[in-house]
Each structure stands twice: as structure tokens, then as C-alpha cells.
Structure 1
Amino acid sequence: MSNPTDKNDQDVIDFGFQQIPKQEKEHRVAGVFHSVADKYDVMNDLMSFGIHRLWKKATVDLCSIRKGQKILDLAGGTGDLTAKFSRLVGEQGRVILADINDSMLKVGRSKLRDKGLINNIDYVQANAEALPFADNYFDCITISFGLRNVTDKQKALASMHRVLKPGGRLLVLEFSKPQHALLNKAYDLYSFHVLPVMGKVIANDADSYRYLAESIRMHPDQEKLRQMMLNAGFNDVKYYNMTGGIVALHRGFKF
């Protein structure tokens, strides 16, 4: 006979530091990103002091993208990585900017069209847990600062593995666990006291940026995420700590 406590544990999930019914998380996360979409890029620059651009450049460099390839920029938001991929794959390649949130996709589409990037980019509203693409389709998948918001991360990683070609690679860029005690303490102070104030002043939304800080703390650390990728079928999984482990870039291959 099953234990009622076990069943309850299976039916709830974290939303920041809260425990909520699992079926509510997607809706709650959607509300966060609908709220911040218009100010998302501005806040990224301010809260990371512009360093997010270096993290994303490192991600692109490790993708080893070539002309003509098919790339999935998952949870791609406002399209920072898609813009870089579009130029790298050229006219014969294809980049799909996918996000579960239509507000973020609209901002991304508008920004990329303003840059004149229209010929090799498609836009798809998609849930990472059930990607609407054929098996063995993409040469490379990236998910940048999006995995922590997914309800079932293990299911999403398996879905990514399915749509990658043999020889393809997945890169996960995500906030992680700082590797030094003093940095970790300073990061906590910044995250829980400064970020919500910035969110209130810039985006008129302190709660969403409080959730951001909490969701980072609830996300699997470097080694745990590496193991999750291995469990999903990826091989040769390695991670690279950046800015003292505030962010980690994981890369795995489908053999």
C-alpha cells in the first residue's frame, strides 16, 4: 500500500521556496515571464553587470556550430543566442527559437527582426518536457537560464536527448552554486536584498525577481545536474564554472 506522504511529495513541487501543486508551476512561471518580458534584457544587463554576455559567448564557443546545421535555442527568450546562431549556420542552416512563454517569444521575434535576422529563424512555442520535433533532428540544443523553471527537469532532458542527432550536443547554461564560502554569502546578500529592489524600480515587479533568487537556490548544483544529464542518456558530460560558480555551463553529447 502506498504511503500518503509519498503521494503528496509526488504531487507538489518547488516554486522558489514555496511548495505548490505540480500542475500549477507552469502557470506560475508563465506569470513571472509575462510580467518581466518587456524589461528582461535591461534587467539582465543590470543584475549581471553585463557579464551575462560573456557567459553566453562561452556557450556559443563550446557549441562548435558549422554552416548548414540545425540549432534549437530552447527557452531562448529574447533571442540573444539565436542571433549569434543565425549568423553561424548561414543561409543553409536553421535556428529555432523556442520558448513556453508567448510574451518572451514576441519580444525575441521583434528584436531579431530589427536586427534583420529573418531568413533562417523559426519561432515555436514549446514545452521543454514534450518537444514538438522529430527524433534525431538537431545538431545542437542550448537552454540558457531556463532549465530551473521547468517543472520536470529530468523529463525535459530526456526530451532534448530524443530530438538531438547522434553526435549532437546539449549545452545548459544556468545559475549554479558558488564555489567559495565568502562569494556564496555575498551572492545571497545581493540576490535576496538587491535584486528584488532592482526588480521593483526597473520592472515594477519585486516578486518576480524574488522568485528568481529563490529558484536559483532550489536548482540542482553542478554535480547533481551532471548526473541528471547522464541519466537522460548524455555522454561525456562536463561542466565549466564561470564567475566562481555563480553560473555553470554543462555540455553533453548524444552518441
Structure 2
Amino acid sequence: MSKEMPNTGSGAEGSTHFGFEQVPESEKAQRVRGVFSSVAQKYDVMNDLMSGGLHRLWKHFTIQLAAVRPGERVLDVAGGTADLSLAFAKKVGPTGQVWLTDINHAMLSVGRDRTVDHGHLLPTAQCDAEKLPFPDNHFDLVTVAFGLRNMTHKDAALAEMRRVLRPGGRLMVLEFSKIWQPLSKAYDLYSFKVLPWLGNKVAGDADSYRYLAESIRMHPDQDTLAGMLRAAGLDRVEYFNLAAGAVALHRGYKL
């Protein structure tokens, strides 16, 4: 497997990673858009198959740790099919507000339709996490689940998320991370053999799920990402390993 180091933001000379491939920064967003446009309709089914349903427990843990209260304002960045948005909508109640955002139109459409089907008319916005269209100091909670690793300039996106948080607000980042070393060989076998096979059989797209496996390897590990949250101006940063570190939940506060 590739031994390239994780890229925490942009690469040299205006290049960045798309999986293990180096591409111009201006090209990455379009390439990522193609991946998620391709898999949007099968996204939830594939999540269940890939994780054996564990993604639901990881998201439940995130929701519980977020401790959202009635009346709060929540921003779900790269919210996709709206798992977190729907859960938060139930908790903030009619006096609160939850925004569902995603840069990808196909994913946002699936999420928007799902919220309507569940009886929640949530505001939605198709937007880039590096340029959030919201005022400073506005939200009590910002979340991003399995979306940060696809962003070209992660440092800029984290700074934007902090900007829109009110003082005392918290940011929560749920993302794939570095698995416990003794499990790495088995995890590599699963990631680079089984995932593309599943993607081909279920979603008709092996390449997108090969990119998924590669993008996980290029994403910063737990301690590096914690440092990035601190560099973005967040305090009291901590993380929680899930599934032997295959996934980690980071939390930081704007003081």
C-alpha cells in the first residue's frame, strides 16, 4: 500500500491529493463531486454494508456527546443524506434551527428529500465548507461527519467552522482515522479488496470506493487533526477513538 504521508491541507505548487493521486487544487473539488454524484442514491445502503451498521452507532455517539438542547442553532456541514441533521432537528425542537449543507447537489437533494419525508422542513444550502455563507458567532454546534477528508483546504474549512460558532459553541468532527496498528494489515485487505468489490456490486462503481479507501489513508491521524483544530483557534480539544481507531470523533470549543 502507499506510504505517502497524510496531507493536512494543500500540497506544494498548487497541488493536493485525490486519494493517492496528486492533482491540481482547482481539480480536486470537481473530482470529489463526481464521486459523490455517482454514489448518492446508494450512499446509505453502502454505509450499512461497509460498516456492518456500525456507522449508526458512531453517529449516535456523536449525537449523544453533542448534548444539543431545545432552541439551539446547529450547522451540519457536508451533511449528505441528513442522518445527523434529522437527529438534531428532533432535539432542538420548534424553537431551534438546523441547517443541512453540502457542496454536492446530488447528496444534498437526497438529504433534503429525506428530511421532508420525515416531516422536517429544514433549511438547506449548497455551499463550500471553506466559504460558509453564515454570519460570525451564529451557531451553538457545528458538525461534519465523514466529510472533512474530502476538503481541499482542511485548515481553511476548520477556520470557517470556528468563525460561525458563537463563543461557547462546539465543533464536532466525525471522521475515519488511523486504526490500531495490529489490525492495519487486515484493514488494508478489507479496504482495498472488499470495498471496491462491494462498490461495484451494489453501486456499480468500484473506483469511487477505491478512492474512499485511499482518502482515508491520506487523512491526518488523530493527534495531527487535534493539532489542526487547535491551530484553527479551538480550545479544550479532545478525541474519542471508535472501532479501534478506524474512526475518531474530535471535539473542540470556541472560547
Category of TM-score, reference length = shorter chain: over 0.9
Secondary structure of 1:91 counterpart? coil
Change (3 A) 1:17 1:8: closer
State the partner residue of 1:137: 138
> Would you say the 8 A contact 1:180–1:244 is kept in 2?
no
Structure-1 separation of matches of 2:71 and 2:227: 31
Change (3 A) 1:19 1:70: same
Q: Select which of 100, 107, 111 maps to 1:108.
A: 111
Mapped pair 1:81 → 2:67: no
**1:1-255 to 2 correspondence within 5 Å?**
9-118=12-121, 121-181=122-182, 183-255=183-255
Structure-2 separation of matches of 1:145 and 1:201: 22
Structure-2 separation of matches of 1:9 and 1:237: 28
Shift of 1:157: 0.4
Calculate percent identity across the aligned residue pairs: 58
Structure-1 separation of matches of 2:250 and 2:135: 24
Structure-1 separation of matches of 2:13 and 2:165: 29
> Would you say the 8 A contact 2:242–2:248 is kept in 1?
yes
Matching residue's letter, 1:198: L
Structure-1 separation of matches of 2:171 and 2:198: 32
CA RMSD of aligned residues (A): 1.1
Structure-2 separation of matches of 1:144 and 1:43: 16
Structure-2 separation of matches of 1:240 and 1:185: 22
> Would you say the 8 A contact 1:14–1:20 is kept in 2?
yes
Superposed CA offset, 1:70-115 (max 9, x none):
0001100000001100000000100000000010010011111111
Shift of 1:8: 8.0
Shift of 1:250: 0.2
In structure 1, runs of 5+ residues without a counterpart are 1-6
Structure-2 separation of matches of 1:244 and 1:81: 22
> Would you say the 8 A contact 2:11–2:17 is kept in 1?
no
Secondary structure of 1:77 counterpart? coil
Structure-2 separation of matches of 1:97 and 1:12: 30
Matching residue's letter, 2:148: L
Q: How many residues align?
A: 246
Change (3 A) 1:186 1:225: same
> Would you say the 8 A contact 2:149–2:216 is kept in 1?
yes
Matching residue's letter, 1:74: V
> Would you say the 8 A contact 2:86–2:120 is kept in 1?
yes
Structure-2 separation of matches of 1:48 and 1:86: 25
In structure 2, runs of 5+ residues without a counterpart are 1-9
Secondary structure of 2:123 counterpart? strand
Structure-2 separation of matches of 1:187 and 1:122: 38
Structure-1 separation of matches of 2:249 and 2:67: 14
Shift of 1:180: 3.0
Structure-2 separation of matches of 1:36 and 1:253: 33
